[in-house]
Amino acid sequence: MSKLGTLVLVCVLAIGLGQSARAQQAESVQRIGFLGPTTAPPPAIPLLEAFRKALAGLGYEEGRNIIIEHRWPDGDRLDQMRESAASLLKLKVGVIVAIGATAARAAKDMTTDIPIVFEVVVNPVANGLVASLERPGGNLTGATTFDPHLGAKQFEILRSVLPRLRRVALLGDSGAAPGLFQAGEEAAKALGLETLTLKVERVPNPDFDGAFGVAKKEDIDAIIVLSTPVTTPNRKRIADLAVKHRIPTLSPRDHADAGGLISYGTSFVEAAPHSAAFIDKIFKGAKPGDLPVETVRRHELVVNLNAARDLGIEIPQAVSATADRVVQ
């Protein structure tokens, strides 16, 4: 073969190898669907950023070997979530991360093939998402914030701030799993406290004014705000109504930025590393139904002294000293 022929052959091989390498690189890019709880409010955006950071720690970089397609439905209705899940499926995502029980349910309704990793679902078994925590089955797994001792701890914190605590209301979504209210009622009963259940409909303008009006009329000493789809997007409104009616509140950890008196529980962003780890295993061949659901166990206590002053309450030094963060 002539030198010219050899040179042409080498060039052809080089071009072919280059095209093959680029093709392999393109094939290695994984597409992830991220189904948010509602129209991109905090704490959803920090959650997405924490998710990106956790993936980067495992070697997945957006634009290099992963693409994240995110959807923030305008509301938390199941039909809206289903539409968003369907739009992700049209993009041929390889896995869907669903934030909250409604998003996870919607994704599950739309596909039985694509793996689904859920975050911050309080009780995935009671919500019908998985068969059990140990053996989820199907195409779902994820992280739960379920803690059977949470209710007792919440009442313990309230009592340390309000020694004369007698009647407590539980505020949440009318469509929430019954066990969510039941756990609080049982914890209160064990401490000899009375409870009032305040269920708010999941509509564009939830009637929190009416709920607080009932609490005031019933002489409620404090309100525990449950972590449900209707409360998180309205946390600032809830905090403002608490000051207006002078009723102390204890809210989920991710309500801390809203101005409530006490926030306690698991931060949404704590679930991000769990989801990233699940996705890494799934991309490497694991089946979601074989991956046990993990429990996010880290809890944080935030005390808001500004809210305490507005409510005319003095926070004991012992409580402030044990808080993870004190808002001055």
Domain assignments of the chain as residue spans, ordered by start: 30-146+268-295, 150-265+299-327
Please tell me which residue, 260 or 22, carries the higher pLDDT value. Answer: 260
CATH fold label, 30-146+268-295: Rossmann fold (3.40.50)
> Which percentage of the chain shows pLDDT scores above 70?
88
Quick check: 9 pLDDT over 50? no
Is 30-146+268-295's fold the same as 150-265+299-327's?
yes
Confidence class of residue 260 from pLDDT cuts 50, 70 and 90? very high
pLDDT digits (tens, 9 = 90+) for 49-62: 889 999 999 999 99
For range 36-45, the mean pLDDT:
58
Bigger pLDDT: 7 vs 171? 171
pLDDT exceeds cutoff 90 at 270: no
Per DSSP bridges, beta strands 249-251 and 262-265 are parallel
- pLDDT tens digits for 161-216? 999 999 999 999 887 766 778 888 999 999 999 999 999 987 878 999 999 999 99
Superfamily of domain 150-265+299-327: Response regulator (3.40.50.2300)
The angle, 0 to 180 degrees and rounded to 10, between the axes of the packed helices 101-110 and 78-90 is: 50
pLDDT band at residue 24, thresholds of 50, 70 and 90?
A: very low
Q: pLDDT at position 72, please?
A: 83
Name the residue with tokens 């739960």: 144
CA distance 100 to 312: 35
Give the model's pLDDT for residue 54.
Answer: 95
Span 83-104, average pLDDT: 94
Helix locations, 111-253, DSSP H: 150-161, 178-190, 208-217, 235-245
Burial of 95 (0-12, 13-18, 19+ CB in 10 A): buried
The pLDDT of residue 8 is 46
**Res. 2 pLDDT band, cuts 50 70 90:** low
Question: Average pLDDT, stretch 72-91?
Answer: 86
Average pLDDT over residues 83-102: 94
β-strands 249-251, 300-304: how paired?
unpaired
Tokens of 80: 């809206």
Q: What is the pLDDT of residue 11?
A: 46
Least confident of 24-33, 183-192, 247-256: 24-33
Mean pLDDT of 53-74: 92
What is the C-alpha end-to-end distance of the chain, expressed in Å? 83
User: CA separation (Å) from 301 to 60, 116, 251?
Assistant: 32, 31, 10
pLDDT at 177: 65
Q: 268 and 122 in contact (C-beta within 8 Å)?
A: no
Please tell me the distance from the alpha carbon of residue 224 to that of residue 170, in angstroms, as a whole number. 5
> Using one digit for the tens of pLDDT, what is the confidence trace for 118-161?
998 878 998 899 999 999 999 999 999 877 788 899 999 999 99
